[in-house]
Structure 1
Amino acid sequence: MSEELIKSVQEMLKEETWTRATISNYSKEKLIELAAVVEKARNENCTDEIQQICDEQLSHSKDSIIALYLSGMISLQKGTLDNSSLVALVDIFQKNHKEPVVEYLCQSILEDDPTNKFALRTLAEYYRAADNDKVWALYAQLVKLDFEEADIAKALAEHYESSGDMETATEYYKKAILRYVNAGNINATKELWSKLVQLIPQEIDFFQLVKRKVSKTLGDDKTAILLQELYNWYKDNQKWDTAISLLKEILTVDQKDIWARKEITDCYRGKYSGHSHLDDYIRSSNLTQNFRNVFEAINDFEKHIAFDVHNFVFHRTWGVGIIRKVENEKLIINFGKKAGIRDMALKMAVDALTPLTKDHIWVLKATKQKDVLAKMVKDDKAWTLKTIIKSFDNNCDFKRIKAELVPSVLTPGEWTSWNSAAKKILESDATFGVNPNDINMYMVRENEISKEEKLANEFKAQKQFFSRIDILMKYVDSDETDKTSEMFAEMFNYFAGYVKTLDLSDQPMKVNEQIVASYLVVQNITAANKQLSVPTKYTFQQIYEKIQDPREMYELLKDTKNTSLRADFLRNIRMLPNWSDEYIRLFPTVLEGQMLTMLIDSGYTEKVQKLVVSCFENCKDYRNAVLYFFKECQNEEWFKNAGISYEKQLITLIQLIELTFREINNHLNTTENKKINKNATLLLFKDDALLNYMFQNDEETVKKMYTLIDDLADIDPSYKALMRNRILEKYPNIKFHVSEEKSSAPKGMLVTAKKLEEKKQLLERLQTVDIPANAKEIEEAREKGDLKENAEYKAAKEHQHKLNNDVAKLQAELNRAVVFDPTTVTTALISFATTVTLHNNDKNADETYTILGPWESDPENGIISYMAPFGNAIMDYKVGDNIKFAINEYKYNYTVKEIKAAKL
C-alpha cells in the first residue's frame, strides 16, 4: 500500500504546475485532500519516504505548494523545529490574498502543534485585520509562549482596560514593562511606568523590581527619572517615609540633585510638622545647604530630630533610655536602674546615642516584664519577626533574631520549636521577603507580594547554584505561580543559558556539574511546558561521554527537597545503549535498589552477581556497597546464588570495622569512616546477626568469630562483654585470656540515661534561671552604695562564685559522660549495672550491692560507684571467686555468691 501512495505523490508533484491562476483556484478543500495524504502516509508508516520526495521536489521547484504542504506538515508531526516549508507556503497564499486558506492552514498547524508561534502570529494578524475578537485569545497565548513579546502584552492591557477589567489590564501592563526593560526600550518603559503609577502606586515592591532591572539594563541615571514620578504620588498622599526613601534613592544616583534635596527637606517638614525644634535641626544640619554632603546632612538631621521628649535612645554602656527633657542643647535621659538619670549635650548625643523607635525590640525588652514579652513572642511569631527585622533597618538574619530572643526572652529549649515555626512563616507569609542582595537577610514588605515575586527575589539573592535550582523547582511545583511570567522566564533562562552556549567541540572539554544539572533542569521543565523549547546541539549521550567520572558527577549533583537531579541523571543513563554497564559502574556510589531491580528484570543477573563478588573481595574500595548488599539483599535469590557465604559476609564486615578504625586513627576521611564503622557494627550486633551465626555452628566457630572481634582494639568493650556473656551461657567452661576477663569501660564516666537527663536539666536551670537571678541580685546590691560595707553584695558575689564553679564542674562531668546501654549488661562477672551478692567470710553474712556510676552512688542504699575504691576492688570477679582487699587499712574477705542484672 505504501508504494502505491508514494507513487501517487510522485504523480501529483509531476502534474503540478505553478501559476498564479493555479493558486487562485486553491481552496481549503484542496488542503483537506493533502491532509488526507499526510494521514495516510502516517498510517502506512511511509512519512520519511514522502518527505524525502517532497524535499527533492523543493530543491528545484521551491514554490511547489504540494511539496511545501506535505513536507511541512510531516515535519510538524515529527516534532521538529523546522517551520520553513510551512512559512514559505503561508507566504505564497498571503501574497495572493488567499486569507481563508491562510486561516485554515494556521488552524491545521495549531491542531498538531498548539504552541506554534508562527501559526499563532499569522492567525492573530488575520483576525486583527478582520477586527475579529478571536485575536485576543491568540494574543494571550502568544504572550504566554514568547517571553520577549512586549507589544502584544501592551495591546492586551489596553484592550482589557478599555473593557473595564482593570485587574487583568494591570497584569498585562506589568508583563509589558518588564519585557520593554529587558529589550532596552526606555521610551516604552517610561510610558508604562506612568500608566502603572496611575493604576497601582501603592505596589512599591513591584516598582522597586522594575527599578532594579532598569538600573541593570539601562543604567542608574534612568532610574532617577522614573522614581521622581512615583515619588510625587507618595508626597501628594503624605506617605512621608516612602517618599523620603525614594528621594534618598534619587540622591544616591546624583548627590548634587538640587530638586531632590529641596524635596527631602519639604518631606521632613511634613513628617515632623509638630516638632518644636524642626527648624533648628534643619538649620544646624545644613540640610538645605549645597556645600555639605547631602547624606551626612540627612544623617545629622535624623539623629537630631529623634532626640525629643519621650523618645527612646540606646547607649552602648548604659543601655536603653528615655528622653525626659530637652533643655536648650542638653538632653536629660533616664536609663533606669542600671545607669540612672544622665545629662548629655546634644552634640555629644549625636555621636554617642542611637535613636530607637518605641517598638524597637530593645525598647520592648527594657520596658516590658520578661514573662509578658515572652508570652507575646510565643503567641504571635509573625509580629515578633516583623518587630525584630524592622528594628535593624528592615534587614536582619536569623542569627540576629536568635541573639535578641535567647536567653533574654526564650530559653534554648523554647527557641527550638519557636525557630521551626518562625521559618515556616518567613517562607509562606507574603509580607516577608529576602534582601535581593543577600539570601540570609530578611525584610518586611509594606504590601503583600505575589508568590512569583517572592521566589524571584529569593532567586536573585541566592548565589549558590544548586540552591537556585531548588527555588526554580519550588516555583514550578507551586499551584500559586504563573509559569508564563517574566520572573519565571528569567530564572529558567539562567539555566537554559548553560545549555544554549554548550560547545563540546572544544578540546579538552570537561563537562561540569553545572552543565549537567542545567541540562536536567531544562529537560524536566520543557517536558511539561512544550512552549519552552531550548535549542541545543547535543544529546544527553554526547554530554555523558564528556563526563570524566560519572560516579563523581552523581555525587556532585546536590539534591534538595524540591529537586530530583540524581534520579533524572539515572533516568537519562537508562536510555543509553550501554546502560547496564553504566548502572553496574555507578551502583557502589548510588546504592539505589531500583537499579538492581532494573538490571535483574532486564536479564543482567550475572553482571550484578559479579559486582557483588567484586565488592566483597575488594571491600576497601566498595565499603558502602558491602553494607548495602548485607542489609538489603539477604533474601534475594540472585544474591544467595552469588556464591558469598554468610560467614564470608560477616568477616568482611569485621574487616571494614578494623579498616575504618585504622583510618580514623590516622585522620583519613574521619566523618565518612565513622559512619561506615557505626553501620557495620550495628549490622553485626543488632538483631544478634553475629551471635546467632556463631551459636548455629560449633564451638570452634564461636572461638574464631569471637577472636576476630576481640582483636579489634578500638571497638566498644561492651560488645565484647556482650559476646563473652552469651558465650559463657552456652559454654560455661570456655576459657578466655586473662586480659579478656576485664570489663573495661569506655573512656569517660558511665552513667544511666535517666541520670544524664537529670544533670542536663540541672545545668540548664543553673544557666538560665539561677545565674541570671544572681546577676540581678548583684546589680541591685551594687546600687545600694559602698561595696566595701555592702553585705548583700558580698553574699551575692560569693553565690556567683559557687554557681560558676557548679556549672564548670557539671559541664566537665557531662563532657565525660558515656550513656550505658542496658542491653549490653553482662552477668558473667561483676560489672556496671549488675547487682552482686557477696558472702562476707569474716562475718558469715551476705551483702548485696548494685554497681553503677558516681552520679547514681548511694552507699546507704547499697548503690556503689564502680569508680569508688570498694566498687573498683570487686569489679571483674565471677561467681565463686574469692576477693580479698584492703581500704584505709581495713581488710575485706568476700566470696562472690550471685551476679544478676540490675533494675535500671
Structure 2
Amino acid sequence: MNSEAVSALIAKNPPLKAAKAQLEAMEPGAYVIHRSWGFGRIKDYDEAAQRLIIDFKNKKGHAMDPAFCLTTMEILPANHLLVRKETDPKQVAELIAENPVQLVVETLQTYDNHATTAIDLEITLGQVIGEDKFKKWWAATKKALAKDPRISVPQKKTECYVLRETPVSAEDEILEQFNSTRSARRRITLAEELIEAIGKKEINTDLSVVLTGVAEAVKSSNQLDPSERLYGAAVRDELARHLGIDPATFEPQQPALVANARDLPAIAEKIPVHFQARFLELVNATHPIEGRDILFNLLKTSQGKFTTECINFLVEQGHADELAAVLKRWQTEQNLRAPVLLWIVKNRHSKKFAKLLNDLITPRLLGAIFFAIDYEALQASSARRIPLADILSDDTELIADLLSTADPETARDLANTLMLNQGFEELTKKSLLARFIKIFPKIQTLVDSEAETREEQLIVSKASYERKREEYETIVSKKIPENSKAIAAAREHGDLRENSEYKMAKQEQQVLMAHKTNLERDLGRARISDFKDASIDQVSVGTVVEVASVKDGHHTTYTVLGAWDGDPEKHFISYKTPFGAALLGKKTGDVINVKTDASDEDYAIVSIARYADKAS
C-alpha cells in the first residue's frame, strides 16, 4: 500500500492512524504469515475496494481487509526463514542438509532479542523442512544444538531458544544448570551430560562441585528410588575417574546397592536401557556363587530390552545350554511370561539362537502365548496394544511354525482357545483362524457353527435381559479380575506342575471365560419383546395356553414366554424348551406329543390367550 492508499484508509477509519507503519508495510511483493491461511505473498492492492489481494498456498488471489489483517497477519522480514525458502531455496536446502545448527542460528537472528519459544521455532522449521522429514531431522539437530556454545537450549517447549551474545561452552552451561537446581534426579542427569561433553578433552572448569553434589544426592537424597540411586552411583564414579579421583572413597559403593538379591527385580525394572548391561555385570560380580540363579530370576520377570540383555549376557557367560533347559522347564510349568515369549518368537529363526530355541517351537508354546495375551488383556485398564498379540497377527509364518508338529485335536483345542481369547478383536480372530484352517481344514466347522449360532435371534423379556446383563457385568468386573489375581498369586508359589491352587484357578478361569463368551453371544442375539404382538390364532411367544392331558383329561395352563423367562412355579415356560417348542404354531384343538426323559404324553390345546392382556 502506498502512502496515498494508507491515508485514504485512515480517513475512512481514523483509529487506524496508530497502525500507519504496519499498513505501509503491506505493500505488493511482501511475504506474510496469516493466523488462518498460513504463508503467502501480497500480490496487489485494490484501491477501489480497499482490499489487499494475497496469494496464499491454497487460496490464490484472496481479497482481505487491511484493518482485519492488522490483528491476524504478520509481515515477514526479508531474512525470515520462510521468505528465504522462497527467495533463496538452494542455500536453505544446503543448510538443512549440511549445517542444521547454522540454520537455527540464522532463524533466531530474525526474532526480537534473538529468542523464541521452542514451540514457535519448531512450527517455523517444520513448515520449511516438511512434516514428513521434520521429526527425524529435528531429533538429530537438537542433539547438535545442545553441544553448540552459541545457543541456550530450553528444558521445556514453553521456554525459549536463545542465541547468546557471547558463546558459552557446553560444560559451563551444564554447570550453570547444575547449580540452579536442587533436584537429585536432575543433577544426576546433568552430571551424565557433563561427562559426555568433556569426553577426553582438557577442561578448565572446576567440576568438583558437580562431583560433590552428585555424591551427596546418591548418599542421602530421599528423592531417589533404589534404581536411581544405583545409576547415580555409577555416574558419580565415572565422573570421579574423569577427575582423577578414586571412586572407592565414596559411599555407598555400587556393589552394596545390589547386595540384596530380593531388591534386584525392582531395580532392573527402572534402570536406563544403556545401563542394563553394566547392571548385569555388577550383579554377577557382586554375587559370585548364586549369580547365575539370580540372573535367571531377573530374566523370568524381565521386560522390554532388558529381556534381550539378560539372554545375551547369559549366553556370553557360557550358560546357553542351561538357558535352553530353563526355558523348556518354564514352558512345562507354564511360567513363560509375555516378554520372554515375545523374545522367543522373534528370535526363533536367528542363527545365534535357533539351536537354543528349536525344542520350544511347539503347539505348547502357542498355548502359552494365548494364555499370556489373555492374561495381559484382563489386567489392562485400557485398550493398550499387546505386543504378543501384534506379532502373532503380523508374523504370517508364526502360527504355521508353532503348529508344525500339532495333531488335529490339539490344533482344534488351540483354535477354541483363540476364539475365547480377550486380547484380540473379532476381525483379528477370524484372520488368525484362517491360518489354522489352512493347515487343518476341519477347523472350519468351528467357524461355521459359531456363525449359525449367531444368526438365530433369541426373543427375551426386558427383565430377563437385564438379569443376563447384570450376570455378565459381574463376571467381567468382579469374578474374572478376582480369578486373574488368584492365578498371579498362585504362579508365585513355584513349580506349576505340583501347584494345586494354580490348577484350580486355571480351571475356574476356563469356566469363567467360556461363560463370558456364551453370555456375550446370547446378549448379542437377544431381541427384547413386551409380547404385545402375540396372536391368539395359534400358539406363539407371549401366549397363555390351556392344555388337557389326553390320558387323564387333567387341565393345566402354561404361559409361553422368552428364552430366559422359565419359572416352573408360575407355569412360565421358555419357547426354547421341548414343551414350548412343541406348542409353537399349534391351534385350538390340535394335539401335541411331548417326550421327556420320564414320559411320552399327548396334550390337546383347549384355549389360547394373550399374556399381555392378562398381565395388564
Query: So what's the TM-score if we normalise by structure 1?
Result: 0.36
Query: So what's the TM-score if we normalise by structure 2?
Result: 0.50
- Structure with bigger gyration radius: 1
